[in-house]
Amino acid sequence: MLELKGVRKVFNTGTVDEKVAIDDIDIVLGKGEFLTIIGSNGAGKTTLLNLITGTCEADKGDIFIDGLNVTHLPEHKRAVYMGRIFQNPLMGTAASMTIEENLGMADLRGKNRTLRWGVSRKRRSHYIQLLKKMKLGLENRLKQSVNLLSGGQRQSLTLLMATLSLPKLLLMDEHTAALDPKTAMRVMKLTAEIIHQHQLTAIMVTHNMEQAIKYGNRLIMLHEGRVRLDIRGSEKECFTVEEAVKRFGSTLKDETLLSC
């Protein structure tokens, strides 16, 4: 479903600040696969997501989504294929709009828009049912402005918005890092449920080793822009933090990788 072939990205080329962020990476992600990515600060995790979305362009290599070469497609044209959730809960929603309006805008992703816009009774009923499953009481607050929501509520709403149109690819960049532990656990559980229910192809970047091991069916460790570890299936199910330290301790210099 997603394929990266020899993808490379260098920042500040030819200067003393030159940094190889992604170093000739090859990754093939199958449909319905849930990949978690770990790595120390500066390993290339967020840059990898930015290359996939088109936020930055690769210096070398090709990127395919569902067989289509999107390497040179601008970000807004790639957006129809994917949903993305950022670390900051404020980035995924429009604060001045209501919950209902945010969901309505997300519902129009990749669809033809007309001058007539609004949320129909049928769609509103659909949103209510989806919000009920989140168990946050948001189904009773459709007309409220999003800026009244807590960080956890906004991130949960962002998750729902990102998956509402069932994107071909869901990208999550440390989307629970800014939340308190209890809320983070709730958002992660909701994330896993939505991905499993709709069999979404997903990539989750995280500094939390426990999350990386517990969720998803494949795990990749990045270090200095290269894949140092790639495990899946039964091997991932048996993988532990201790095993990671034992096998790849020399690359795990950032203590945040070992947070549980």
Give me the percent of the chain exceeding a pLDDT of 70. Answer: 90
DSSP assignment of 68-100 equals EE-TTS-HHHHGGGEEEE-SSGGGSS-TTSBHH
162 versus 250: the higher-pLDDT residue is: 162
- Residue 219 reports pLDDT greater than 90: yes
Domains and CATH numbers, the chain: 2-96+150-258 (3.40.50.300)
Mean pLDDT of all residues belonging to the chain: 87
Order of strands across the sheet with 202-205? 82-85, 169-173, 202-205, 34-38, 218-223, 226-232
Query: Which letter does DSSP use for residue 86 in this model?
Result: -
- Residue 196 reports pLDDT greater than 90: yes
Tokens of 54: 């088109």
105 versus 173: the higher-pLDDT residue is: 173
Q: Identify the pLDDT of residue 226.
A: 93
Tokens of 108: 């129009």
Contacts of 102 (CB under 8 A, 6+ apart): 93, 94, 146, 157, 161
Does pTM surpass 0.85? yes
178, 258, 202, 8 alpha-carbon torsion, rounded to 10°: 100
Q: Identify the pLDDT of residue 178.
A: 85
- Half-sphere exposure for 32 (CA within 13 Å, toward CB): 4
Q: Mind listing the pLDDT tens digit for each residue in 80-127?
A: 899 999 988 888 898 889 999 999 888 877 565 544 456 778 888 989
Q: Identify the pLDDT of residue 52.
A: 95
Tell me, rounded to whole angstroms, the distance of Cα 115 from its chain centroid: 31
